[in-house]
């Protein structure tokens, strides 16, 4: 499988220069002309035209409040009293490769202090705990600048500098900054930045742990990473694993495919030699856990997987609190990255479970679960976010979870471990499996763990 991906990747590299050239040819961007950033009555505004290669028939027009100034013919415009507090711009046009190109310059308000329109909020530190005003340009230059930070529409008391350190619990809040500036001889100008939500900004993912399942067929699963939980749950004081499941888990039902994947195979064949909590077992399957091998707290968890269809087929990629012996489920907490139902071929479930509350959602897959899909979560001190094939479909914040009615207890600030399994039948999938179904399979291409913006911890035993 991964050899095929390598071939496809090489073909993509060979093809990409052609594709790139076409894209550049069809999506050319043209620079805009620029004018003086500020001016008042009696001063002169200067226009600098943009350079467009192979342009012909080039013209420009000065604009006042969007209308052409017919008397303005040169690249310099003398500001008159009638222009005071009016918006001045310039429009440049030319024919390039047979196509009419038009671009409009930046705008200035005559007599008013100018604040650059691309002024925005950005992170001030690598830890991403402090916000700052970025790209701020004021013309004419002045020290008479005031700031006021807003959180979710309300002014933050005493937050009146160019930087603001926010509480971790506020990472999902919307922040804005109101900026007031007044240069000598110019009118006051006020500008409000666009909203900035810290938790929604692009994140840096660093791979910290993984199992690519590249071992040859017949190889043993890496015992430094995985253990197996065998049986029907009775030995773990959870008959039917707490869900009325039908399978007896065995180590041997998990194996390497030999082409870069791990397969969990469920079958009725051989199940009858085992005695389940309900009588003669109907299925055998497998369940892998990193419990007491490797633990994790916060970060991104990602797996690429596919699974067969059929009533009662229940594959899962999930996390349980490593304190489960001291605080039995649901007190330990559970994070379901991926749960599928064999009878719902294109539906995905992602859920949080705690002592007195659950919060989850579903997503519709582009193709059914028999095709490869990538399932992931970002787990931070403030939220859990679910993704399928790189697209976010659900998010639960700590604040919303605790603030639910009745209030739920957040138990997701400690070590968890990873579970990969294929259950057969049970409450989640609506009861017993289809009597006509004899085999089922879930295949994992890889499991990967990343830190997110430097946040994430691994525990090794």
Q: What is the DSSP string of 137-193?
A: -EES--S-EEEEEEETTEEPTT--SSEEEPPGGGTTS-EEEEEEE--TTSB-EEEEP
Measured CA to CA, the distance from residue 247 to residue 267 in angstroms comes to 9
The secondary structure of residue 198, as a DSSP letter, is G
Do residues 312 and 223 both lie within one domain?
yes
CB 216 within 8 A of CB 256: yes
Do residues 321 and 434 both lie within one domain?
yes
CB 176 within 8 A of CB 192: yes
CB 393 within 8 A of CB 387: yes
Structure confidence at residue 127 as a pLDDT band (50, 70, 90): confident
Do residues 77 and 134 both lie within one domain?
no
Q: Please count the structural domains in the chain.
A: 3
Do residues 223 and 192 both lie within one domain?
no
Mean pLDDT of 31-59: 96
CB 265 within 8 A of CB 285: yes
pLDDT-above-70 percentage for the chain: 94
Residue 309 lies in a domain: yes
Q: Please return the burial class of 260, using the count of CB atoms within 10 Å of its CB with bins 0-12, 13-18 and 19+.
A: middle
Distances in Å between the Cα of 106 and the Cα atoms of 46, 49, 253, 294 are 12, 12, 66, 56
pLDDT of 13 > 60? The answer is no
Name the more confident of 356 and 135. Answer: 135
pLDDT for res 403: 80
CA atoms within 13 A on the CB side of 56: 5
Do residues 281 and 364 both lie within one domain?
yes
Where is average pLDDT lowest: 273-277, 368-372, 380-384? 380-384
Range with the largest mean pLDDT of 3-7, 107-111, 164-168: 107-111
Do residues 39 and 104 both lie within one domain?
yes
Structure confidence at residue 126 as a pLDDT band (50, 70, 90): confident
pLDDT tens digits, 341-380: 999 999 999 999 999 889 999 999 999 999 999 999 999 9
Q: Which one, of 373, 372, 390, 374, lies nearest residue 448 by Cα?
A: 374
The active-site residue out of 334, 345, 371, 415 is: 334
pLDDT-above-90 percentage for the chain: 87
Mean pLDDT of 287-300: 98
Do residues 274 and 157 both lie within one domain?
no
Give the Cα-Cα-Cα angle 387, 259, 249 (nearest 5 degrees): 70
Name the more confident of 252 and 5. Answer: 252
Residue 384 lies in a domain: yes
- Residue 258 makes CB contacts below 8 A (sequence gap 6+) with 216, 217, 218
- Beta sheet of 120-123, edge-to-edge order: 120-123, 130-134, 163-165
Counting every residue written for the chain, the total comes to: 461
**Domain end point (choices 71, 86, 109):** 109
The active-site residue out of 174, 339, 345, 371 is: 339
Give the Cα-Cα-Cα angle 92, 95, 101 (nearest 5 degrees): 50
Across 251-405, the runs of DSSP E, i.e. the strands, are 254-256, 262-267, 275-276, 279-280, 283-285, 287-289, 294-297, 299-307, 313-321, 334-341, 344-354, 357-364, 373-379, 383-388, 391-397
Number of other residues whose CB lies within 10 A of the CB of residue 177: 28
Number of other residues whose CB lies within 10 A of the CB of residue 34: 15
**What is the overall mean pLDDT for the chain?**
93
**Domain end point (choices 133, 168, 200):** 200
**Domain end point (choices 93, 109, 125):** 109
The secondary structure of residue 25, as a DSSP letter, is H
Residue 8 lies in a domain: no
174 is catalytic: no
Do residues 353 and 221 both lie within one domain?
yes
Residue 20 lies in a domain: no
3 state DSSP class of 234? helix
Residue 22 lies in a domain: no
CATH number at residue 62: 2.60.40
Map tokens 């253990």 to a residue: 227
Residue 47 lies in a domain: yes
27 is catalytic: no
Distances in Å between the Cα of 263 and the Cα atoms of 28, 254, 316, 354 are 48, 6, 13, 30
Q: Which domain holds residue 181?
A: 114-200
Do residues 267 and 120 both lie within one domain?
no
Measured CA to CA, the distance from residue 86 to residue 72 in angstroms comes to 16
pLDDT for res 20: 32
pLDDT for res 27: 58
> φ and ψ at 2, to 5 degrees?
-70, -25
- Residue 437 makes CB contacts below 8 A (sequence gap 6+) with 310, 311, 312, 313
Residue 333 lies in a domain: yes
Measured CA to CA, the distance from residue 291 to residue 296 in angstroms comes to 10
pLDDT for res 8: 37
Do residues 390 and 304 both lie within one domain?
yes
Do residues 296 and 430 both lie within one domain?
yes
pLDDT of 9 > 60? The answer is no
pLDDT for res 405: 77
Number of other residues whose CB lies within 10 A of the CB of residue 24: 10
Positive or negative torsion for Cα 95, 100, 105, 107: positive
Beta-bridge partner residues of 361: 350
Number of other residues whose CB lies within 10 A of the CB of residue 32: 16
pLDDT of 28 > 90? The answer is no
Do residues 283 and 407 both lie within one domain?
yes
3 state DSSP class of 353? strand
Residue 1 lies in a domain: no
């Amino acid at each position: 499988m991964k050899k095929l991906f390598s071939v496809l990747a090489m073909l993509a590299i060979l093809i990409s220069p052609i594709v790139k050239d076409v894209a550049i040819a069809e999506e050319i961007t043209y620079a805009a002309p620029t004018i003086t950033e500020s001016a008042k009555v009696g001063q002169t505004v200067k226009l600098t035209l943009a350079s467009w290669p192979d342009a012909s028939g080039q013209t420009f027009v000065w604009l006042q409040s969007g209308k052409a100034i017919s008397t303005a013919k040169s690249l310099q415009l003398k500001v008159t009293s009638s222009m005071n507090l009016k918006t001045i711009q310039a429009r440049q046009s030319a024919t390039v490769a047979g196509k009419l190109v038009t671009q409009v310059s930046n705008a200035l308000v005559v007599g008013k202090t100018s604040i650059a329109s691309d002024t925005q909020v950005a992170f001030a530190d690598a830890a991403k705990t402090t916000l700052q005003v970025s790209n701020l340009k004021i013309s004419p230059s002045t020290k008479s600048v005031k700031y006021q930070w807003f959180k979710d529409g309300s002014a933050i008391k005493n937050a009146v500098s160019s930087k603001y350190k926010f509480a971790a619990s506020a990472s999902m809040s919307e922040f804005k900054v109101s900026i007031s500036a007044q240069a000598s001889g110019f009118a006051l100008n006020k500008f409000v930045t666009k909203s900035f939500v810290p938790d929604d900004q692009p994140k840096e993912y660093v791979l910290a742990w993984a199992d690519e399942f590249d071992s040859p067929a017949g190889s043993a699963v890496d015992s430094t990473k995985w253990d197996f939980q065998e049986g029907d749950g009775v030995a773990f004081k959870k008959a039917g694993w707490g869900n009325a499941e039908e399978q007896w888990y065995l180590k041997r039902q998990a194996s390497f495919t030999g082409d870069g994947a791990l397969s969990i195979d469920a079958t009725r064949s051989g199940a009858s030699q085992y005695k389940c909590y309900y009588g003669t077992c109907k299925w055998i399957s497998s369940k892998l856990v990193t419990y007491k091998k490797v633990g994790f707290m916060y970060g991104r968890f990602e797996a690429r997987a596919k699974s067969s269809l059929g009533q009662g087929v229940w594959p899962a990629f999930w996390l349980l609190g490593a304190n489960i012996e001291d605080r039995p489920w649901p007190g330990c907490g559970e994070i379901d990255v991926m749960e599928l139902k064999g009878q719902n071929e294109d539906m995905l479930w992602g859920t949080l479970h705690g002592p007195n509350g659950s919060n989850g959602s579903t997503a519709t897959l582009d193709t059914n679960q028999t095709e490869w899909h990538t399932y992931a979560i970002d787990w931070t001190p403030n939220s859990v976010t679910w993704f399928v094939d790189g697209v976010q479909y659900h998010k639960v914040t700590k604040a919303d979870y605790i603030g639910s009615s009745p209030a739920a207890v957040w138990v997701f600030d400690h070590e968890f471990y990873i579970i990969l399994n294929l259950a057969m039948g049970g409450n989640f999938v609506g009861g017993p499996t289809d009597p006509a179904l004899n085999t089922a399979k879930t295949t994992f291409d890889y499991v990967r763990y990343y830190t997110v913006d430097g946040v994430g911890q691994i525990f090794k035993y």
